[in-house]
Amino acid sequence: MYAVLGANGRAGSETAHALIELRKPVRVVLRRPEQAEKWTKLGASVAISSIEDVPSLAAALSGASGAFLLSPPPVSGDPYKRADEIGSALAEAVRQSGLSKVVALSSVGAQHQTGTGVIATLNSLEKHLAEVAPSTTFLRPGYFVETWGEIAPAVIANGVLPSFLEPSQKIPMVSTIDVGRTAACLLSDEFSGKRIVELRGPQDWSANDVAAAFGRVLDRNVVTAFVPPGARAAVLAQEGVPAEVADALLGMYDGIANGRVEHEEGAQQRRGSVALARAVERIVRDVGEDASGLAT
């Protein structure tokens, strides 16, 4: 049986689905009981726990052959302090549970302690988890294609893709479908020791490539609108992002622009198979389904 944290988020959900498709027994660890029904219908067992509750999390991990662990994206407070607290709690829960295999979600660029904004929180996570299980894999994906889903309604409505990324800069990107499939394979394989696995899509993509993919899916012209660094804080503030979280997010985009969010020498490199157009097509479909649900 494999335990999966964050099953209602992007990467955790895809990992749980991939394991179920492989006919592996799965236990999803959820924060709230009302989230359980959709998973039990898929055949997964459910444990209710929060990351902060070490005894209950250790119980949720107990008996698992391996676990997919992650640190949730920051939403308030000091992201770096919060990451240190979560990393410490996860490590202690792994120790108490006797878990033998960990696959932890990290990010390309997590080898740097500074200069990468919010990605540096994953450097902290890796340090906490580095020695707690006999088999430890840090899965470092590139920028999630599905992150563009946050602005997809505006893209669909206006034909404009706002971007904090320089429009022509190709960077490691990957669909969360590939992240889930890779995590499931890493949990299932025989490995002892510590390794870093970097994951990119079939090729690196730019914001312009994403705009072109939206254009093909929508059958209309979509252009990229670059948001300069000086204007970004105001954009995030307008969206209600707290200042400390915004600073960390903006630091990530600075790190990407400066080339710090890149390959680490000695890390395994893998590429997924999900094409950019397929991932964008799913984003557009999900927006349509959400709109339909609101209409009814």
Cα(83)–Cα(73) distance, integer angstroms:
9
Per-residue confidence (pLDDT) for residue 288, from 0 to 100:
77
Which pLDDT does position 188 carry in this prediction?
92
pTM for the structure as a whole:
0.93
DSSP SS3 for 279: helix
> Which amino acid would we find at residue 4?
V
DSSP type of residue 263: P
Q: Which pLDDT belongs to residue 32? A: 87
Q: Residue 287's pLDDT is what?
A: 85
Residue-by-residue DSSP string for 57-107: HHHHHTT-SEEEE--PPP-SS-HHHHHHHHHHHHHHHHHHHT--EEEEE--
* Closest among 5, 4, 15, 2 to 63, alpha carbons compared: 2
Inter-residue contact 40 to 46 (CB < 8 Å) = yes
**112-157 pLDDT tens trace:** 999 999 999 999 999 999 989 999 999 999 999 999 999 999 999 9
Cα(262)–Cα(146) distance, integer angstroms: 19
Q: Look at residue 296 in the predicted model and tell me its pLDDT.
A: 43
Distance, in Å, from the CA atom of 108 to the CA atom of 87, rounded to the nearest integer, reads: 18
The pLDDT profile of the chain, 296 residues, written as one tens digit per residue, is: 999 999 988 999 999 999 999 999 999 999 888 888 999 999 999 999 988 899 999 999 999 999 999 999 888 899 999 999 999 999 999 999 999 999 999 999 999 999 999 999 999 999 999 989 999 999 999 999 999 999 999 999 999 999 999 999 999 999 999 999 999 999 999 998 999 999 999 999 999 999 999 999 999 999 999 999 999 999 999 999 999 999 999 999 999 999 999 989 999 999 999 999 999 999 999 887 765 554 44
The tens digit of pLDDT for each residue in 253-293 reads 999 999 999 989 999 999 999 999 999 999 999 887 765 55
Q: Which residues on neighbouring strands pair with residue 46, listed in sequence order?
A: 28
Q: Would you give the DSSP letter of residue 264?
A: P
